[in-house]
């Protein structure tokens, strides 16, 4: 099936778990799946995809300079006829790499499912997410719930004192202590409490 799908959600919305379960379901039916991840996030070791509920698997790691289409074609020449590509941490792929996934889907009749964040800690899109919104056939949300019961839309970054911050580089890898997904209202209230202004464009 020639299709590019983007499944986005906030941090902690079970994206990696869903990626691994989707892969399991395809492989159980005999479908060949290429599991890949961006190299930017190496929290769990270079080639490990690990979900918060404990599922894990090794994945092919794609660095920003790699051409995904060429990698895919090399695998095909080696006899790996992947019908499905499952990509995690898709926000960290470059714009060019998302275009390459788009081309693979059409050229080789492959289903490409990308899992990732929509926006960073300042509510700005990551380059990979932006390209996926531009190019994907389907865009699905994996929703999760804030402490207050509303839907999470912000991946808030916290400092060591547990205060929400809006300064720093777009990519700063961290675990549960550094980020907290929350609804917009809780985020702006937390910023107010810390005396930090909304990072208006
Ligand atoms: Zn909330």
Check whether 45 has a pLDDT greater than 70: no
Please give the model's pTM, rounded to 2 decimal places.
0.94
Give the chain's end-to-end CA distance (angstroms, integer).
39
Q: Which ranges of 12-154 does DSSP label H, i.e. alpha helix?
A: 15-28, 68-77, 95-108, 127-135
CB 117 within 8 A of CB 155: yes
Which segments within 82-189 are labelled E, that is strand?
84-88, 111-116, 138-141, 154-158, 164-165, 179-182
Check whether 43 has a pLDDT greater than 90: no
Q: Tell me the CA–centroid distance for residue 89 and ligand 1, in Å.
A: 24
Q: Which of 83, 89, 103, 172 is catalytic?
A: 89
Q: Tell me the CA–centroid distance for residue 154 and ligand 1, in Å.
A: 10
Residue 92's alpha-carbon distances to 2, 59, 135, in angstroms, are 23, 15, 16
pLDDT in tens, 51-93: 888 888 899 999 999 999 999 999 999 999 999 999 999 999 9
In sequence order, the 6+-apart residues with CB closer than 8 A to the CB of 147 are: 182, 186
What structural domains and CATH numbers belong to the chain? 3-141 (3.40.50.300), 154-194 (no CATH)
Check whether 42 has a pLDDT greater than 60: no
Q: Tell me the CA–centroid distance for residue 176 and ligand 1, in Å.
A: 17
Q: Tell me the CA–centroid distance for residue 179 and ligand 1, in Å.
A: 14
pLDDT in tens, 94-140: 999 999 999 999 999 999 999 999 999 999 999 999 999 999 999 99
**What are residue 6's phi and psi, to 5 degrees?**
-115, 120
Could you confirm whether 89 is annotated as catalytic?
Answer: yes
Q: Tell me the CA–centroid distance for residue 11 and ligand 1, in Å.
A: 14
């Amino acid at each position: 099936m020639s299709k590019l799908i983007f499944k986005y959600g906030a941090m902690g919305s079970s994206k990696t778990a869903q990626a691994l379960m989707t892969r399991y379901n395809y492989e159980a039916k005999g479908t060949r799946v290429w599991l890949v991840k961006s190299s930017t996030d190496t929290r769990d070791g270079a080639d490990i995809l690990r979900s918060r509920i404990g599922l894990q698997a090794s994945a092919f790691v794609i660095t920003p300079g790699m051409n995904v289409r060429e990698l895919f074609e090399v695998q095909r020449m080696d006899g790996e006829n992947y019908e499905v590509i499952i990509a995690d941490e898709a926000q960290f792929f470059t714009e060019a790499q998302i275009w390459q996934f788009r081309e693979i889907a059409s050229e080789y009749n492959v289903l490409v499912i990308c899992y990732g964040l929509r926006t960073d800690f300042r509510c700005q899109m990551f380059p990979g997410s932006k390209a996926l919104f531009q190019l994907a056939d389907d865009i699905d949300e994996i929703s999760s719930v804030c402490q207050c019961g509303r839907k999470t839309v912000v991946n808030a970054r916290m400092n060591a004192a547990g205060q929400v911050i809006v300064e720093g580089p777009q990519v700063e890898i961290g675990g549960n202590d550094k980020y907290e997904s929350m609804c917009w209202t809780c985020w702006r209230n937390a910023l107010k409490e810390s005396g930090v202004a909304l990072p208006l464009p």
